[in-house]
A and B are shown apart, each in its own frame.
Chain A
Amino acid sequence: MVISCNLGIVFIYFLQSKPITPTSAPDEGDIFSEEGSYIRSDVHHATNGLHSDEELDLFTGISLHRCTMTRNEWELNCMMENIMHSIFVFKIAWQAETDHLKMLYHIMVKCYLSHQHTSVQSLEATVELTLTNTTSQGRREIIGPTASACNTTHVPNSILKPSIVTKTMEELEEEESGDQFELNIAVTNPEKIGDGMNAYMSYKVSTQTTLPMFLNKTFSVRRRFSDFLGLYEKISAKHSLLGCIIPPPPQKSVVGMTKVKVGKEDSSSAEFVEKRRAALERYLQRVVAHPSLLQDPDVREFLERDELPRAVNTQALSGPGLLKMINRASDAVNKMTIKMNESDNWFESKLQEVENEEQLLRRLHAAVDSLVNHRKELCLNTAVLRKSVAMLGSVEENSALSRALSQLAEVEDKMEQLHQQQAFSDFFILAELLADYVRLLGAVRCCFEQRMKVWQRLQEAQSTLQKKREAEAKLLWANKPEKLQQAKDDINEWESKVSQYERDFERVTCTVRKEVLRFEKEKARDFKQHIVKYLESLLHTQHRLVKCWEAFLPEAKAIA
């Protein structure tokens, strides 16, 4: 055990002291390249300046978990082997690129994964880790490992870390060894069930996964829209208090659904169903992309269980629905009255950023919407022109010209189809993405608000504690010993509450920060992906256009 501890220290020491260079690695979530913007060039061995919060968590995680693992002999051997190998590799690749470290990580990670569910209740922290909130930028630094590492110094904050660390590790795991553990979700086959006003659309949710926590590799269930909303309610109730960003579900639409219910079999209701299906799919994909939400048993149940109990409190006019509305109103009022004493500028500037971005995205979304509409109009007009040109061609007496004109009509017909498809992709690739992100940014704001609420609770507790202390002081002065005991008990109670809330606040702050970073990364990736897809669709359209016109050219030239 001592050996492993020492190796562990050495390991961390080596890893920490390597100056980390940003590489242009692909967006695989490589931990060393992703936080490029946070890199400090002045790395100092003594201070072991770690370069990002993610890394910190990781290292903490590794050390902590390795400690538990080392208790198991089999694991010990495995770990030792790996560490030795890693260090050996590392020594050789001292000046080498990040790729080697990545490889190293793969090894570490794979090892860890085999013990995924190991609980980390008891810590034998072989490395003394102190987490302090020091700099004004809110960055954390590790005060390095000491030689007397075998003390099991109980560091309060580090207890809180495990669950979050678990998440980080899993997140890494999902990103790095992406092909090893994956989860694909598709929402397909909308079917109308029932009739009249009680009808509803049922969607097939199919999951394909290699994650061990699910019973099968592929399975599917049927769900309806209110089930999705119910899932959101459940997740929201549990996780939003921790400061997670919860993806919002697609919006209700009374008009759209009524049309479907009534049974109008026209293109607009088909479009509505398709829009909703796509939105539900994106929603689920976002939910499972979030590491802690994926672990939630409710999510698992949603994906696996055959019959879900009907989620009735998602209806707008139900009791809980109204209650929710009232709560929301009171929240809004609260928001205006709380002025948080922000010790951390990062949060303030981030919130501002988020709000600005929401505005801009809204504007962009409006512009894209009008683009979609105009393109649809263009489509209609092209169809009308086609008919007109065809008629003209039929009247024309010069046969070659007549033929050319009717060919022109054909070309216009194909253009119409192209425009139609382009409008389709405009909408589904671009407009929906933007709408989603406007709502997601709203969720991010909620997240910040949660933090504020926790802070407010802490403030209240602190002021109550203050009052209790004053009361005690007064009692002491008034010399009433019977009540004194009561007062002392009160004070103790509130002191523990205050410390509890303080810890909560710390935890929420940390979670929010991490969530925001993760969100931003995902957002950049999402946007890029969609923009590329959109540009590709435009390219495709232009390509087909060229073909159409090139086919027409000889006809035009043949006019005599």
Chain B
Amino acid sequence: MTSISEDSDKEKVRSVSVDLNNDASLVIDIPDALCERDKVKFTIHIKTTLSSFQKSEFSVPRQHEDFIWLHDTIVETEEYAGLIIPPAPPKPDFEGPREKMHKLGEGESSMTKEEYAKMKQELEAEYLAVFKKTVQVHEVFLQRLSSHPMFRKDRNFQIFLEYDQDLTVRRKNAKEMFGGFFKNMVKSADEVLISGVKEVDEFFEQEKIFLLDYSSKIKDATAKAEKMTRSHKNVADDYNHISGAMNSIAADNNTAFKKTISVCVLQKLEDRVASDQELKLTELLRYYTRDIQAAKDLLYRRARALADYENSNKTLDKARLKGKDIAQAEENQKQCLRKFDKLSESGKKELTSFKARRVVAFRKNLIEMTELEIKHAKNSMSLLQGSIEILNSN
């Protein structure tokens, strides 16, 4: 069981999206989280001045599944069809560190005590990093909801924040899950069909092309970035082994001892570089992959609405031809048109702000990543210089 507490690092950790807590009327953050076996319990802390809430400051425990429920209900709400719905946070994945911990336990006999202790420390740090990441992602999800003028008024959102008992009753059971899965499949088939629909609006046409292309590229980039940071971690691990082996030699040979120190330090730095890169670049890419998907969803909904509208037009024409059900068809058509217009309008707004948001986020992250790389490289340079001087003067 691990728990984290608020620390100044969190400011840096909360790096993917721009600061969303600038509206004081509803401030949400996740100061604490507990990890039990497979489940992670988040403690959500809310501070609000809105009258719709009973208390002005309170905390509530939630699990990952509750977040998913909230996301799904929002998606299913018709009203929000014209909005980009913040992507659901991914399930907390401790597989990586857990597997390594397992391997470490197996290989314990073949390593020296110091090496084992050090590897254990490294693994714990990695575990902690994964932990921090998942907390951050959940936090950002909530913050996006709270900062959006429409979502923050959502009833379900309020329930999520306030309901002081377990939300288990509201979660999907197996049947609903299956139904959801089926719906997704239908949706993707639909998407293909609808992408053939002729687009009237230039803006949306461009957006569609852009988003489709971009999403595939960003998915690719994310995968590659993940692979790269993994190899970087391997290199750092190797340095750990090397320093362990050198430690054993250090006993008799004086020079070797100094070697150990410098190599140990190097390993620390390599590790840090790896985890920083991981955090910045990969997380950025990962997050935006999901976000792009949400934007695509919006387009899809709009396209669906357009298709509906066109269908209703056809129905109306047919009804006019046949001479019956005209009123109904007209009503239907009007409704579709209204829906479509609403979607188009809000869609445009959302997509424009999405673009701006994306550019800003990229900028922030790239700058931070670069600065961190420079800092670490300079650190390791000074360390190396120090070690070389020590060795030379010996």
Closest Cβ neighbor of A363 among chain B residues:
B245
Report A400-426 residues with CB < 8 Å from chain B CB: 400-401, 404, 408
Task: Decide: A371 near B363, CB < 8 A? Known: A381-B228, A395-B217.
Answer: no
List B residues at the A interface (Cβ < 8 Å).
Answer: 210, 213-214, 217-218, 220-221, 224-225, 227-228, 230-232, 234-235, 237-239, 241-242, 244-246, 248-249, 252-256, 259, 262, 266, 355, 359, 362-363, 366-367, 370-371, 373-374, 377-378, 380-381, 384-385, 387-388, 391-392, 394
Task: Decide: A371 near B385, CB < 8 A? Known: A357-B252, A531-B255.
Answer: no
Task: Decide: A549 near B374, CB < 8 A? Known: A398-B359, A528-B394.
Answer: yes
From B221, B252, B373, A549 is in contact (CB under 8 Å) with B373
Residue A326 at the B interface, CB < 8 A? Answer: no
* Residues of chain A within 8 A of B362, CB atoms compared: 401, 404, 559
Q: Are A370 and B255 within 8 A (Cβ)?
A: no
* Residues of chain B within 8 A of A408, CB atoms compared: 366
Chain A 364-391, CB-CB to B under 8 Å as 1, else 0, gives: 1001101100110110011011001101
The minimal Cβ–Cβ distance linking B377 to chain A, given in whole angstroms, is 4
Task: Decide: A374 near B235, CB < 8 A? Known: A384-B227, A545-B377.
Answer: yes
* Residues of chain A within 8 A of B359, CB atoms compared: 398, 400-401, 559-560
Q: Are A553 and B391 within 8 A (Cβ)?
A: no
Task: Decide: A389 near B221, CB < 8 A? Known: A535-B391, A549-B377.
Answer: yes
Residue A302 at the B interface, CB < 8 A? Answer: no
* Residues of chain A within 8 A of B242, CB atoms compared: 364, 367-368, 371
The minimal Cβ–Cβ distance linking B211 to chain A, given in whole angstroms, is 10
The minimal Cβ–Cβ distance linking B355 to chain A, given in whole angstroms, is 7
Closest Cβ neighbor of B217 among chain A residues:
A392
- A384–B385 Cα distance when bound, in Å, is 32
Q: Are B246 and A364 within 8 A (Cβ)?
A: yes
Q: Could you list some 9 contacts between A and B, CB below 8 A?
A: A378-B234, A401-B362, A535-B387, A538-B266, A542-B378, A543-B381, A549-B373, A556-B367, A557-B363
Q: Are A528 and B255 within 8 A (Cβ)?
A: yes
* Residues of chain A within 8 A of B239, CB atoms compared: 371
Residue A296 at the B interface, CB < 8 A? Answer: no
The minimal Cβ–Cβ distance linking B228 to chain A, given in whole angstroms, is 4
The minimal Cβ–Cβ distance linking B35 to chain A, given in whole angstroms, is 29
Residue A361 at the B interface, CB < 8 A? Answer: yes
Chain A 338-370, CB-CB to B under 8 Å as 1, else 0, gives: 000000000000000100010011011001101
Task: Decide: A539 near B228, CB < 8 A? Known: A360-B245, A552-B370.
Answer: no
- Interface-central residue, A374, A377, A397, A408, by most chain B CB under 10 Å: A374
Residue A84 at the B interface, CB < 8 A? Answer: no
Q: Are A527 and B256 within 8 A (Cβ)?
A: yes
Residue A550 at the B interface, CB < 8 A? Answer: yes
* Residues of chain A within 8 A of B230, CB atoms compared: 381
Closest Cβ neighbor of A550 among chain B residues:
B374
Q: Are A363 and B374 within 8 A (Cβ)?
A: no
Q: Are B387 and A374 within 8 A (Cβ)?
A: no
Closest Cβ neighbor of A382 among chain B residues:
B228
List A residues at the B interface (Cβ < 8 Å).
Answer: 353, 357, 360-361, 363-364, 367-368, 370-371, 374-375, 377-378, 381-382, 384-385, 388-389, 391-392, 395-398, 400-401, 404, 408, 524, 527-528, 531-532, 535-536, 538-539, 542-543, 545-546, 549-550, 552-553, 556-557, 559-560
Q: Are B241 and A535 within 8 A (Cβ)?
A: no
7 more CB-based (< 8 A) A-B contacts, given A396-B214, A398-B359, A556-B370: A388-B220, A389-B221, A391-B217, A401-B363, A527-B255, A531-B391, A542-B381
Q: Are B255 and A524 within 8 A (Cβ)?
A: yes
* Residues of chain A within 8 A of B387, CB atoms compared: 535
Q: Are A535 and B384 within 8 A (Cβ)?
A: yes
From B210, B363, B367, B394, A395 is in contact (CB under 8 Å) with B210
Q: Which 3 A-B pairs have the closest CB atoms?
A: A371-B238, A559-B363, A378-B231
Q: Are A395 and B213 within 8 A (Cβ)?
A: yes
* Residues of chain B within 8 A of A550, CB atoms compared: 374
From B232, B252, B380, A378 is in contact (CB under 8 Å) with B232
Q: Are A546 and B391 within 8 A (Cβ)?
A: no
Q: Are A371 and B245 within 8 A (Cβ)?
A: no
The minimal Cβ–Cβ distance linking B290 to chain A, given in whole angstroms, is 16
* Residues of chain B within 8 A of A398, CB atoms compared: 355, 359
The minimal Cβ–Cβ distance linking A476 to chain B, given in whole angstroms, is 57
- A545–B256 Cα distance when bound, in Å, is 27
- A261–B147 Cα distance when bound, in Å, is 70
The minimal Cβ–Cβ distance linking B263 to chain A, given in whole angstroms, is 9
* Residues of chain A within 8 A of B213, CB atoms compared: 395
- Interface-central residue, A535, A536, A560, by most chain B CB under 10 Å: A535
* Residues of chain A within 8 A of B255, CB atoms compared: 524, 527-528, 531
The minimal Cβ–Cβ distance linking A91 to chain B, given in whole angstroms, is 34
From B227, B241, B370, B378, A370 is in contact (CB under 8 Å) with B241
Q: Are B224 and A542 within 8 A (Cβ)?
A: no
Closest Cβ neighbor of B266 among chain A residues:
A538
Closest Cβ neighbor of B369 among chain A residues:
A556
Closest Cβ neighbor of B384 among chain A residues:
A539
The minimal Cβ–Cβ distance linking A37 to chain B, given in whole angstroms, is 10
Q: Are B366 and A556 within 8 A (Cβ)?
A: yes
Q: Are B253 and A385 within 8 A (Cβ)?
A: no
- A538–B363 Cα distance when bound, in Å, is 30
Q: Are B238 and A527 within 8 A (Cβ)?
A: no
Task: Decide: A367 near B373, CB < 8 A? Known: A531-B259, A542-B384.
Answer: no
* Residues of chain B within 8 A of A377, CB atoms compared: 231, 234
Closest Cβ neighbor of A404 among chain B residues:
B366
The minimal Cβ–Cβ distance linking B342 to chain A, given in whole angstroms, is 26
From A378, A539, A556, B385 is in contact (CB under 8 Å) with A539
Q: Are A381 and B392 within 8 A (Cβ)?
A: no
* Residues of chain A within 8 A of B392, CB atoms compared: 532
Q: Are B266 and A385 within 8 A (Cβ)?
A: no
Q: Are B238 and A384 within 8 A (Cβ)?
A: no
* Residues of chain A within 8 A of B355, CB atoms compared: 397-398
Closest Cβ neighbor of A353 among chain B residues:
B252
Task: Decide: A553 near B381, CB < 8 A? Known: A374-B231, A395-B217.
Answer: no
Q: Are A385 and B225 within 8 A (Cβ)?
A: yes
From A364, A396, A397, A549, B370 is in contact (CB under 8 Å) with A549
The minimal Cβ–Cβ distance linking B215 to chain A, given in whole angstroms, is 10
Closest Cβ neighbor of A520 among chain B residues:
B253
Closest Cβ neighbor of A375 among chain B residues:
B235
Closest Cβ neighbor of B242 among chain A residues:
A367
- A190–B370 Cα distance when bound, in Å, is 43
The minimal Cβ–Cβ distance linking A227 to chain B, given in whole angstroms, is 35
Closest Cβ neighbor of B367 among chain A residues:
A556
Q: Are B238 and A374 within 8 A (Cβ)?
A: yes
* Residues of chain A within 8 A of B237, CB atoms compared: 374
Q: Are A553 and B228 within 8 A (Cβ)?
A: no
- A552–B221 Cα distance when bound, in Å, is 19
The minimal Cβ–Cβ distance linking B103 to chain A, given in whole angstroms, is 14
- A40–B381 Cα distance when bound, in Å, is 42
Task: Decide: A378 near B221, CB < 8 A? Known: A408-B366, A549-B373.
Answer: no
The minimal Cβ–Cβ distance linking A350 to chain B, given in whole angstroms, is 11
- A398–B288 Cα distance when bound, in Å, is 15
Q: Are B241 and A378 within 8 A (Cβ)?
A: no
- Interface-central residue, B214, B227, B235, B259, by most chain A CB under 10 Å: B235
The minimal Cβ–Cβ distance linking A336 to chain B, given in whole angstroms, is 27
- A386–B98 Cα distance when bound, in Å, is 30
- A524–B384 Cα distance when bound, in Å, is 20
Q: Are A381 and B231 within 8 A (Cβ)?
A: yes
* Residues of chain A within 8 A of B234, CB atoms compared: 374, 377-378
- A357–B250 Cα distance when bound, in Å, is 10
From B221, B231, B259, A388 is in contact (CB under 8 Å) with B221
* Residues of chain A within 8 A of B245, CB atoms compared: 360, 363-364, 367
Q: Are A545 and B373 within 8 A (Cβ)?
A: yes
From B249, B366, B370, B385, A360 is in contact (CB under 8 Å) with B249
